[in-house]
Amino acid sequence: MTPALGLAAISILLWVVSMPPWGMAEAAYLALVPWLLYCLNQPRWKPLLVGLFLSSWAGWIAVLYWLRHVTMVGMLALAALMALFFVAWGAWTRWQLAELQGRGYLTRLRVFAGCAAAWVLLEQLRGVLLSGFPWAPFALSQWERPVLLQVAAWTGSHGISALLVFFNLLIAWSLWQRFRSSTGKSIKTWFSPELYTALGLLLVVIFLFFRIFPERLQQEPLFRVGFVQPYIPANLKWEPDEANAVLQVLERQTQLVGYMQPGVVLWPEAVTPWPALGNDLMRDWIESLVEELDVPVLMGNLAVFREIPSWYNAAFVVHPESGLATEFYSKRKLVPFGEFVPLRRWVPFIDKLVPVGDDFQRGRDPSLLSLQLATRADALKVGPLICYEDVFPHLARASVRAGADFLFVATNNAWFGEGGGAYQHAAHSVLRAVETRRPVLRCGNGGWSGWIDEWGSIRYVLTDERGSIYFRGGGVVGVKRSSIWTGRLSFYTRYPYLFTLFCGALVLSVIRRKHFLLV
């Protein structure tokens, strides 16, 4: 048990520090190597799987530790569930690597590719299983490394995960061969074909980055955008006695941003204490402030239709001349046990266990918002994403396919505290920007707020004088967009399931050929 736990712990530690907010992205290239070296020695199954589960559970606790601000028990349970996916991949890899010694180079590559494909399929599975939680795919480790990110425009972020896993397998095999060689052959074994293949992969990715680099120079101004971070504590947001104070903060911060002459102002998720649609007093207050500002506001807010009754976590646009547009975007991916209770219809007594109240209504389509700016003759189409919707690739993809010129993420990360949650959340927006080749504008209640361009480069982050994203304030930046990608769809956006189908076919082919490795 000790070697299994120790080597798995080293691998998981490297995986953890490769993730935001730790930012050691290069650790991802070697994260799986210690554990793979252990697997290549064909250890017994029980210590291998138990050691991997315990280490993975601890690793996911470290990654999801911000969730303790919402629910400690839920965080521990969710981390245990996520660890099972690591264990499933570990079991598959242990099975595939058995008896690989002495097989040909092409056979080894097929097995390694099958292991990488299995990782992709498991990432896809946890994105849909039990409402889906695709948080922190392996690709997230590269959110500040635009060179590798460009692969996502063809394969989605899962292609980056596959490359990282494949690279780890190549390095692990090269090292294993080196360790197993005799002294007389030690120099020769450093020059294994797997090592050359790993280096070749890096060269291909670097070539791809520089191949598309000229596209980044062909940009056009879009607008000046103002970010408003009211930073209202989560425990005060819905307190009736605090409502007037919340509105005063929002008004003051919006006016300060307005002095910087933005073309549009962004507000975060559910920004006001009462619904913008369904509460006439709240609507009048918002429209009066926007008219005074004389620039449109994109905001996250609530809508309620009391005669049904039905509630929506929504996004709106408010223009100075026409006021609040009644057409709104409704959140498509609701938070289980936060915005709705699963199985409520079939298990009535669950309301006593989870007192959430009435469920929010789910949006069914992208519902783009039309943003008319004083500096443009044509209206821009906005693809809103609310809360953690930018974690789900298919939601951003659907918005762009519907015609979105840019994506707008309105969120309330004050629930996460001031740890790594906001950075991890923002990193998913980087992946969505590259996948869809659309700029992403994010506005959080207390951070992370900023602009990410079509190539995943973080062009602006709202910070205070200490460099912290966690503060009350605002800022303005001039946003540009790629003239090449205006009105065009990336390969991944047009054919989103092609890479997944390829991975599925690859896994099936490896299973069918497994008996050739055992004879």
Lowest mean pLDDT among 4-13, 456-465, 498-507: 4-13
Angle between helix 105-126 and helix 498-518 axes, rounded to 10 deg: 130
Determine contact, residues 208/150, Cβ cutoff 8 Å: yes
So what's the pLDDT on residue 497?
Answer: 95
pLDDT above 70 covers a percentage of the chain that reads 92
For residue 271, the model assigns a pLDDT of 93
What's the whole-model pTM score?
A: 0.93
Per-residue model confidence as pLDDT tens digits over 463-488 = 999 999 999 999 999 999 998 999 99
Superfamily for the 219-332+367-483 domain: Carbon-nitrogen hydrolase (3.60.110.10)
Q: What pLDDT does 354 receive? A: 46
d(CA 313, CA 354): 20
Q: In sequence order, what are the residues at sequence separation of 6 or more whose Cβ sits closer than 8 angstroms to the Cβ of residue 279? A: 304
* H helix and E strand count, the chain: 17, 13
- 3-state SS, one letter per residue, for 354-419: CCCCCCECCCCCCCCEEECCCCCCCCEEEEEEECCHHHCHHHHHHHHHCCCCEEEEEECHHHHCCC
For the chain, the average pLDDT equals 89
User: With bands split at pLDDT 50, 70 and 90, how would you rate the model's confidence at 184?
Assistant: very low
Taking the alpha carbons of 83, 89, 90, 91 in that order, is the dihedral positive or negative? positive
User: Which of 269, 285, 304, 229 shows the shortest CA–CA distance to 468?
Assistant: 229
Residue 516 contacts by C-beta under 8 Å, 6 or more apart in sequence?
A: 107
Scanning the structure block, which residue is given the tokens 């930073």?
Answer: 231
Q: Backbone phi, then psi, for 475, in 5-degree steps?
A: -165, 165
Of the pLDDT bands very low, low, confident and very high (cuts 50, 70, 90), residue 356 is very low
The residue ranges of every structural domain in the chain are 2-215+498-518, 219-332+367-483
Does the pLDDT at position 349 exceed 50? no
Question: Residue 287, CB half-sphere, CA atoms under 13 Å: how many?
Answer: 14
Q: How far apart are CA 402 and CA 406, in angstroms?
A: 11
* pLDDT tens readout for residues 400-459: 999 999 999 999 988 788 888 999 999 999 999 999 999 999 999 988 999 999 999 999
348 has pLDDT over 90 = no
CA distance linking residue 271 with residue 446, whole number of Å:
11
Helix, strand, or coil here: 222? strand
Amino acid (1-letter code) at residue 85 = F
Cα end-to-end distance, the chain, whole Å = 30
Percent of the chain with pLDDT over 90: 68
Q: Is the pLDDT of residue 235 over 80?
A: no
Matching residue, tokens 């990715």: 205
How, if at all, do strands 323-324 and 310-319 pair?
antiparallel
pLDDT digits (tens, 9 = 90+) for 239-296: 777 889 999 999 999 999 999 999 999 999 999 999 999 999 999 999 999 999 999 9
| 237 contacts: CB under 8 Å, gap ≥ 6 | 246, 270, 273, 412, 414
DSSP state of 340: B
CA dihedral 449, 454, 459, 464 (to 10 degrees): 10
Asked whether residue 369 carries a pLDDT value surpassing 90, the answer given is: yes
Residue with tokens 């299973």: 511
Average pLDDT over residues 303-310: 84
Enter the tokens of residue 488: 């065009």
The CA angle 372-395-318, to the nearest 5 degrees, is 25
8 Å CB contact between 97 and 40: yes
Give me the residue label for tokens 């620039």.
295
Question: Whose CA is closest to 254, among 296, 284, 282, 197?
Answer: 296
Collapse the DSSP code of 265 into the 3-class scheme (helix H, G, I; strand E, B; otherwise coil) and give the result.
Answer: strand
**pLDDT over 90 at 187, yes or no:** no
Distance of CA 148 to CAs 99, 131, 218, Å? 32, 29, 21
Is the confidence at residue 390, as pLDDT, over 80?
yes
Residues listed for the chain? 519
At 32-42, the pLDDT tens digits run 999 999 998 88
Average pLDDT over residues 352-380: 81
Kindly state the helix (H) or strand (E) to which residue 221 belongs, with its residue range: strand 219-229
pLDDT given at position 101:
73
Average pLDDT over residues 361-384: 92
Q: Do strands 369-371 and 380-386 pair parallel, antiparallel, or not at all (unpaired)?
A: antiparallel
pLDDT value at 236 more than 90: no
pLDDT of residue 167: 97
